[in-house]
Amino acid sequence: MGELDGYGALVTGGGSGIGLACARRLAADGAAVTICGRTEKRLREAAGDMLRWVVADVTDEEQVKAAVTEAAAATGSLDVAVACAGGSQHLGPIVASELESWRATVDVNVLGTFLTLKHAAPVMARRGRGSFVGISSIAGISTHRYLSAYCVGKAGIDMLVRVAADELGPSGIRVNSVRPGLVDTELVAGILATGDVLNDYLAQMPIARVGTPDDIAGLVRFLAGPDSTWVTGQTISVDGGHHLRRGPDYTPFAEPLYGADTLRGLLPEGD
């Protein structure tokens, strides 16, 4: 018997990385967990015998609504929703940013979290309890030069969580977010393979190591369960203390692509 026996849970972006670690942690404590993502093959392989799955793009409202319905069907309720789908399609200085990649990055982070919350909260409210956890980032509070869209997206998640906690508390719904630092997933493989950028990350961490998905899953599990029933509206960093210092320096990635002048806002006249 686990502490989460009888709980129904949905984890977006659950096919890999932090999302999958969170899903497995919740399931290990007894929850009936449904993961969603955009790629059926990845979801099938990730789910195994422990998890349920449903294909859904978190920027598509009808697909999100269907994923919430599927997750609630496992137990007849939805007690936990973890909005982990996110990432960045954008890297570059603000003055040279392409609109589509900038918008897509904000959409998957802010809009995806919003839609998951919009459709999960009414199901939770009918039962009079629930926990929603957004996955933010240290980028939500510390500037990451040349990752402006990602920073804005993650900061948006943190404010959305605060507003939602204020609105939904009377229905017994807790809303919090977790701010990971640099975590070893496929999304940051390029960073881990680049000495200068990785070394700069580590230099800004009092506990100087790269995090693991399980580091994040442990806090998500706490926020999902009965030990945190008076915790809401919080944004909690899990980053080895990185938030105490400055954000990372992405110049080694950006300067070869754009040039030093563009990085500081100098463009040829007429551009």
Please confirm, yes or no, whether 7 is among the known catalytic residues. Answer: no
In angstroms, rounded to a whole number, what is the distance separating the alpha carbons of residues 234 and 225?
Answer: 15
- Beta 130-135 vs 80-83: how paired, if at all? parallel
- Beta 235-238 vs 52-55: how paired, if at all? unpaired
Q: Starting from the edge strand earliest in sequence, which strands make up the sheet with 173-180, in order? A: 52-55, 32-37, 8-12, 80-83, 130-135, 173-180, 235-238
List b or e across 1-34, with b for residues whose CB sees 16 or more CB atoms inside 10 angstroms.
eeebeebbbbbbbbbbbbbbbbbbbbbebebbbb
List the catalytic residue out of 7, 146, 150, 250.
150
CA 256 distance to own-chain centroid: 29
Which residues are marked as active site? 150
